[in-house]
Amino acid sequence: MTPAVVPVTSSASFLALVPRLLECTPRQSLVLVPFAESRSLGAMRVDLPPTDRSVSDESIASTVIGMACKVARTDAVAIVVYADGALADLADLPHRALVDAAIARADICGLRVIDALVVGADGWKSYLSPSSAVPHPLSELTAPPLGEPEFPCDDDQFAAAGLPQVDPAVSRSMLAVLRKIERVLGGAHERRGLPLLKRAATADPAAAFIADPPMLLEDALACAPSDLDAAQLAAVAFCLARPSLRDVALMQWAADLATGDAVLHAQTAFHRGKPFPDDLARPMWGEGAHPDPDRLRRALELCRFVAAALPQERRTGALSACAWLAWARGRGSHAATYAETALEIDADHGLSAIMLDIIDAGRLPEWVFERPTSPAGTGSSPGFPTR
């Protein structure tokens, strides 16, 4: 996501920007864009409430404006509703009560409302301007915002949660190596834990990558997943299927190689009866330093590729890693999709169930609401879209 100075006097230019902020073209969604003065700080998306809901518009508005208030330096918001239906000739704009409640809550919280807009199947309109029968045409929203080049967006907020296509030959090769690794390492790891993992790994070339899990996991981010060989992919799949090594992967990808080494050592000590250090566990629950968005993106691409290359019954570990990484990027909708898919395979899968509980509770990592600065300490950097 690229922050930008938005000309707030042009509603069409702003609407052209929103899909870029979200990296998707949302459907049936309420989107909030927080601002610091005239600079956008990202975008937040939630599903529009169903007609038979039990939660009030005021409650939903309080929640979403509260999320915007948590974003550092926010002093204003813009509101956009994406509705599937046509807008022409409606007696009133859809979800008017929800938008009015959000505007009222923003006022209570001291936030200016820059604009409140709706995009329908036949055009767009403003909640703040007198409404004509004919919507503004959608063609006004197709130009690249602010004179920037075209930016590819997913079809909707769920499209990016689909797994990629993997060559069946790659899957067969990876699975053959994985089975060999499991024959060499599975028993030693599962019966006696991490301390003997390195010794067992070095005894067989197919398992050699597992001798140093943090280095394996770091090297796997250095290129596109499709460029990894079968042994590397199989070794990553082995790690993601085992909670202790999967957690090493997630904490390392959220930080750096040194953190991966520290978590691996802590896991080894934990198997010997020592407590796990709180400072190493905090990022798992969304607390601590702001991760590098690019590392999280590359890690998610890797885990999605590994999941797609595995037979469905073996995907739970990789899918749970996808769920955590998507959640760490602020993409709750994607995270829920990955977790739900994993639980369809294994209803008792621990991390997937935990992730779904966290998402259902509306909790996001603390760093999602922070706005990282440039290396010079000024200006803007990408941040996270929340979905």
Beta bridge partners of 5: 39
Is pLDDT above 80 for 352? Answer: yes
pTM for the structure as a whole: 0.79
Cβ-count burial 293-326 (b if 16+ within 10 Å, e if not): bebbebbbbbbbbbbbbbeeebbbbbbbbbbbbb
For the chain, the first-to-last Cα distance in angstroms comes to 13
Q: Which range among 126-130, 158-162, 361-365 shows the weakest confidence by mean pLDDT? A: 158-162
How far apart CA 252 and CA 302 sit, in angstroms, is: 14
Is pLDDT above 80 for 194? Answer: no
Is pLDDT above 50 for 381? Answer: no
pLDDT digits (tens, 9 = 90+) for 21-70: 887 889 999 999 999 887 888 888 888 988 777 788 999 999 999 989 98
Q: 345 falls in which pLDDT band (50, 70, 90)?
A: very high
Q: 170 falls in which pLDDT band (50, 70, 90)?
A: very high
Segments making up each domain of the chain, as ranges: 11-137+152-157, 168-369
**Residue scoring higher pLDDT (20 or 321):** 321
Contact predicate 331/387, CB 8 Å: yes
Q: What angle do CA 251, 256, 261 make, to 5 degrees?
A: 70
The backbone region for 160, taken as left when phi is positive above 0, alpha when psi lies in -120 to 50, beta otherwise, is: alpha
How far apart CA 296 and CA 308 sit, in angstroms, is: 18
- Specify the 3-state DSSP secondary structure of 314: helix
**DSSP per-residue codes, 197-226:** HHHHHTTSGGGGGGGSHHHHHHHTTSS-GG
Q: What count of other Cβ atoms lies within 10 Å of the Cβ of residue 362?
A: 12
CATH of the domain spanning 11-137+152-157, picked from 3.30.420, 3.40.140, 1.10.357, 1.20.1050? 3.40.140
Contact predicate 316/294, CB 8 Å: no
How far apart CA 18 and CA 34 sit, in angstroms, is: 11
The residue with tokens 């803007």 is 380
What pLDDT, on the 0 to 100 scale, is given for residue 28?
92
Beta bridge partners of 24: 154
Percent of the chain with pLDDT over 70: 84
Q: Which of 61, 28, 23 is nearest to 43 (CA)?
A: 23
Is pLDDT above 50 for 382? Answer: no
Q: What count of other Cβ atoms lies within 10 Å of the Cβ of residue 273?
A: 6
What pLDDT, on the 0 to 100 scale, is given for residue 206?
65
CA distances from 215 to 159, 167, 230, 232, 314 (A): 32, 26, 17, 11, 24
pLDDT digits (tens, 9 = 90+) for 222-258: 999 999 999 999 999 999 999 999 999 999 999 999 9
Q: 195 falls in which pLDDT band (50, 70, 90)?
A: very low
Task: Note every long-range contact of 240-244, with CB atoms under 8 Å and residues 24 or more positions apart, other chains counting.
Answer: 240/303, 240/306, 240/317, 240/318, 240/320, 240/321, 241/314, 241/316, 241/317, 241/318, 242/189, 242/190, 242/317, 243/350, 243/351, 244/193, 244/194, 244/270, 244/271
Q: What angle do CA 16, 20, 23 make, to 5 degrees?
A: 135
Percent of the chain with pLDDT over 90: 58
- E strand or H helix at 123: strand 123-126
CA distances from 18 to 44, 97, 150, 342 (A): 10, 22, 13, 31
Q: Which residues contact 32 (CB under 8 A, 6 or more apart)?
A: 43, 44, 64, 65, 67, 68, 77, 78, 79, 80, 102
Average pLDDT, the chain: 85
Q: What's the rounded mean pLDDT across residues 118-128?
A: 94
**Residue scoring higher pLDDT (297 or 91):** 297
